[in-house]
Amino acid sequence: MPTITPEDARTLARAALVAHGCDAANADAVADTIARAERDGAASHGLFRLPGYVASLKSGKVNGASRPKITNRAPAVLHVDGDGGYAPVAHQALAGPLAAAAKTEGLALAAVTNTHHFSALWAEVELLSERGVAAIACVSFKPALPPAGGTTPLYGTNPIAFAWPRPGRDPVVFDQASSVMARGEVMIAARDGHALPPGAGIGPDGQPSTDPAEVLRGALLPFGGYKGASLAMMVELLAGPLIGENLSLEAAETDPADGGPPRGGEFILTIDPDSARGSTDWAQHAEKLFEAIASQEGARLPGQGRAARRARIAEQGIDIAEDRLQELRALAEG
Amino acid sequence: MPTITPEDARTLARAALVAHGCDAANADAVADTIARAERDGAASHGLFRLPGYVASLKSGKVNGASRPKITNRAPAVLHVDGDGGYAPVAHQALAGPLAAAAKTEGLALAAVTNTHHFSALWAEVELLSERGVAAIACVSFKPALPPAGGTTPLYGTNPIAFAWPRPGRDPVVFDQASSVMARGEVMIAARDGHALPPGAGIGPDGQPSTDPAEVLRGALLPFGGYKGASLAMMVELLAGPLIGENLSLEAAETDPADGGPPRGGEFILTIDPDSARGSTDWAQHAEKLFEAIASQEGARLPGQGRAARRARIAEQGIDIAEDRLQELRALAEG
């Protein structure tokens, strides 16, 4: 099997996006997100999504020459209008102003609207934590999960991501769907012919199923039963009505189903720990918790698996099937 | 079996607290919280906790005459020093200033320190949502849950509560532990001799157990596996190092184990939807989601079960065993 590097992934992605109508700035932001996903072994958010990105440019749904606009809705609320472009373009624009607002006000919210989010959330919270603030982000998508007690998809898989800054070290980051499995993982299982673990989903008849194709036509299930459903509901409210963007059910109503991401919003909260605590010793204090985790046999910090995959990929590269590589090269040729 | 009303619960609780050293204002705040828990059928946070409250007054750990102090650490951060008292006293003091700060700044954080939290969190987020703001609150406690991959308790059961305001109607509220079961529920199962559901905990040997006594000596388990553990870790950071209060492991180190709540902090975030959205149509937009939930057979809104229990208790009262009632009356007599 051929191997490629994360840099190869970036080059391929950038070329495919430019060939289908992105300008350089927009292509760079998305290609960077794809390359970071591949670097971290998150195949379901890497080149796997490139055909969907290209489809959404071809259909004219996404603005490949977006210029996000940032205004204040309140002293601690920035409205980020994504200009119909991909979310990473908005993220690069908002990181500086949002972290600065958190430092002035103590905490700050980015109400991100009019974007198309098609990747993992850890990229944006990691970016913010590198500026010394803690960050919590969430997005909805299109209906995938039923509400507690129901069987019909209503909520998106609605991930929540969190990053805690560690001065001089990599931040502690998690990014987890409200479902047992992320939709991208189920799509990959369907492509590769693997069964899902029990409890991950139900078929169109509302009965439990381990067949990924059945589950994609039925519903994914929230993690932890009704508790995961509560979190998914909260995400719908925070990334939708609260900031003035689509609910998942509305995104589905208006999306052309071209294979790319629907229009949606994102809730990104940043907190300046110096302001929240009133001193700078939060960093040392948090290390006491991380040391207690590390001291338990078998225990791990969130993100530790990702860091290990990153190191392995830096050494060994990314395996990719020959026919998939050819498909991607064809996309890059336009 | 005798029955009492929520008002009887309030009277009993108030008398017991005053008899053991609370002043009127502190006793009123705590008795109100106990009465609200009993009114909503949440026995594990109602009179069940009264002996623990009294024990923590007897040991001198808690200040029954607390006067919380509120200062600004940043424009959008209020520091609430609970003066060593019970958390509900601080909640009553902070609700007005915190909601006002959210309306001015767009959102605001209460960094609550030096309090003793011994009840459910829905009371405080409900109180805030009645002022028209959305609220998210979390607290740690003493070690009960292992980190992902580990078997030794490190995190508290670390609940997260959320309230969404609905003008003219009851808010949508959830309040859920990061564990499969709340510690109070396990204590009640131990008292009543009931087995726990599989997956709720492990014994001191690290092996799965359904015996509540074994689990209280071993560890509760997070809901949804590592995902619940991630949330519990986030709560440790938000309610501890971020705001300048104890981690659960530190609370255990300094607590006299008198049966009452340890000293701890609370993270309470409020968001003004008018500011976050830049308009007032968030309320109507959210109803579209709630209607979609209600339209599914079997589906329910978070808090719906609690509302049903509240209605039943208003009609039928609260069953209480004769010997327990005698114990509580003895406490109230001092």
> What CATH number has the domain spanning B180-221?
3.30.60.50
pLDDT for B157-196, tens place per residue?
999 999 999 999 999 999 999 999 988 889 889 999 999 9
| Range list of β-strands (E), A21-130 | 69-74, 77-86, 107-116
Decide: A234 and B231 in contact? Cβ < 8 Å. no
The nearest CA of chain B is from the CA of A259 a distance in Å of: 25
| In chain A, where the domains are located | 1-65+303-334, 68-177+222-301, 180-221
Hey, of A237, A267, A282, A291, which one would you mutate to test binding to chain B, going by the most B CBs within 10 A of its CB? A237
Does the distance separating the beta carbons of B244 and A279 come in below 8 Å? yes
State the ipTM, two decimals: 0.96
Among all residues of chain A, which has the CA nearest to that of B222?
A: A224
Contacts of A241 in chain B (CB under 8 A): 273, 277, 282-283, 285-286, 289
Of B150, B237, B286, the CB nearest to A296: B150
Nearest residue to B293 via CA among A250, A219, A204, A233: A233
State residue A67's pLDDT score.
Answer: 98
Q: Give chain A's mean pLDDT.
A: 96
Contacts of B293 in chain A (CB under 8 A): 147, 150, 154, 233
Q: Which residues of A291-309 are buried (b: 16+ CB within 10 A; e: fewer)?
A: ebbeebeebbbbbbebeee
Of B154, B278, B300, the CB nearest to A293: B154
Does the distance separating the beta carbons of A237 and B276 come in below 8 Å? no
The nearest CA of chain B is from the CA of A203 a distance in Å of: 16
Using only C-alpha atoms, what is the Rg of chain B? 20
Does the distance separating the beta carbons of A75 and B104 come in below 8 Å? yes
Nearest residue to B89 via CA among B71, B111, B67: B67
State residue A303's pLDDT score.
Answer: 84
**CA dist., res. B104 & res. B82, Å (int):** 24
The nearest CA of chain B is from the CA of A58 a distance in Å of: 31
One-letter amino acid at A48 equals F
Helical segments of A120-265, H only? 122-129, 183-192, 212-217, 226-239, 248-254
**CA dist., res. B156 & res. B38, Å (int):** 24
The nearest CA of chain A is from the CA of B178 a distance in Å of: 9
Average pLDDT, integer, range A117-145: 96
H-helix or E-strand spanning residue A165: strand A160-166
Q: Residue B210 phi/psi, 5° resolution?
A: -110, 10
Contacts of residue A125, defined as CB under 8 A and 6 or more positions apart, other chains included, come to A135, A136, A137, A161, A162, A163, A173, A175, A268
**CA dist., res. B187 & res. B181, Å (int):** 10
Is the pLDDT score of B43 beyond 90? no
pLDDT for B146-168, tens place per residue?
999 999 999 999 999 999 999 99
Q: Tell me if residue A224 falls in helix, strand or coil.
A: coil
Q: Residue B127 phi/psi, 5° resolution?
A: -55, -40
CATH class of residue range B1-65+303-334: mainly alpha
Of B75, B136, B149, the CB nearest to A300: B149
Is the pLDDT score of A184 beyond 90? no
Contacts of B271 in chain A (CB under 8 A): 109, 242
**CA dist., res. A240 & res. A247, Å (int):** 5
Of B44, B129, B179, B248, the catalytic one is B44
Q: Which residues of A are identified as catalytic?
A: 44-45, 185
Contacts of B234 in chain A (CB under 8 A): 136, 162, 174
Of A107, A164, A292, the CB nearest to B249: A292
Does the distance separating the beta carbons of B277 and A241 come in below 8 Å? yes
Sign of torsion over alpha carbons A102, A105, A107, A113 = negative
Contacts of B302 in chain A (CB under 8 A): 148, 226, 230, 233
Q: How far apart are the first and last CA of chain A?
A: 25
> Is residue B257 exposed (0-12), middle (13-18) or buried (19+ Cβ within 10 Å)?
exposed
Among all residues of chain B, which has the CA nearest to that of A148?
A: B299
Among all residues of chain B, which has the CA nearest to that of A174?
A: B230
Q: DSSP of B41-106, one letter per residue? A: T-GGGTGGGHHHHHHHHHTT-S-TT---EEEEEETTEEEEEEEEEEHHHHHHHHHHHHHHHHHHHS
Whose structure tokens read 């004769």?
B322
Q: What pTM was estimated for this model as a whole?
A: 0.96
Contacts of A151 in chain B (CB under 8 A): 296, 298
Does the distance separating the beta carbons of A296 and B75 come in below 8 Å? no
Fold of A68-177+222-301: Ribosomal Protein S8; Chain: A, domain 1 (3.30.1370)
- How far from the centroid of its chain's Cα atoms is residue B1's Cα? 28
Contacts of B237 in chain A (CB under 8 A): 134, 164, 286, 289
Q: DSSP of B127-191, one letter per residue? A: HHHTTT-EEEEEE--S--BPPTT--S--B----EEEEEEETTEEEEEEEE-SBSS-HHHHHHHHH
Is the pLDDT score of A334 beyond 90? no
Q: Tell me if residue A159 falls in helix, strand or coil.
A: coil
Hey, of B237, B254, B269, B274, which one would you mutate to test binding to chain A, going by the most A CBs within 10 A of its CB? B237
Average pLDDT, integer, range B68-91: 98
**CA dist., res. B189 & res. B265, Å (int):** 28
Sign of torsion over alpha carbons A71, A265, A109, A154 = positive
Of A228, A236, A275, the CB nearest to B77: A275
Of A76, A150, A249, the CB nearest to B76: A76
Q: What angle do CA A167, B139, A225 make, to 5 degrees?
A: 100
Does the distance separating the beta carbons of A302 and B233 come in below 8 Å? yes
Nearest residue to B224 via CA among A127, A53, A221: A221
CA dihedral B254, B257, B260, B262 (to 10 degrees): 20
- Interface A–B counts its CB contacts (< 8 A) at 241
pLDDT for A73-107, tens place per residue?
999 999 999 999 999 999 999 999 999 999 999 99
Does the distance separating the beta carbons of B288 and A76 come in below 8 Å? no
**CA dist., res. B108 & res. B134, Å (int):** 11
Contacts of B286 in chain A (CB under 8 A): 237, 240-241
Contacts of residue A277, defined as CB under 8 A and 6 or more positions apart, other chains included, come to B73, B111, B241, B242, B243, B244
**CB neighbourhood size of B185 (10 A):** 22
pLDDT for A264-315, tens place per residue?
999 999 999 999 999 999 999 999 999 999 999 999 998 888 889 999 999 9
Q: Which residues of A234-267 are buried (b: 16+ CB within 10 A; e: fewer)?
A: bbbbbbbbbbbbbbbbbbbeebeebebbbbbbbb
State residue B304's pLDDT score.
Answer: 85
The nearest CA of chain B is from the CA of A213 a distance in Å of: 23
Q: Which residues of B277-312 are buried (b: 16+ CB within 10 A; e: fewer)?
A: bbeeebbebbeebbebbeebeebbbbbbebeeebee
Contacts of B282 in chain A (CB under 8 A): 241-242, 244
Average pLDDT, integer, range A215-236: 97
Task: Output DSSP code: residue A47.
Answer: G
Q: Tell me if residue B121 falls in helix, strand or coil.
A: coil
Among all residues of chain A, which has the CA nearest to that of B293?
A: A147
- How far from the centroid of its chain's Cα atoms is residue A121's Cα? 3
Average pLDDT, integer, range A30-52: 93
H-helix or E-strand spanning residue B254: helix B248-254
Q: Residue A163 phi/psi, 5° resolution?
A: -135, 135
Contacts of A242 in chain B (CB under 8 A): 134, 271, 273, 276-277, 282
Does the distance separating the beta carbons of A277 and B111 come in below 8 Å? yes
**CA dist., res. A161 & res. A157, Å (int):** 13
> Is residue B193 exposed (0-12), middle (13-18) or buried (19+ Cβ within 10 Å)?
exposed
Average pLDDT, integer, range B253-272: 95
Active site residue B45: yes
Average pLDDT, integer, range B288-303: 94
Is the pLDDT score of A1 beyond 90? no
Q: Which residues of B145-179 are buried (b: 16+ CB within 10 A; e: fewer)?
A: bbbbebbbbbbbbbbbbbbbbeeeebbbbbbbbbb
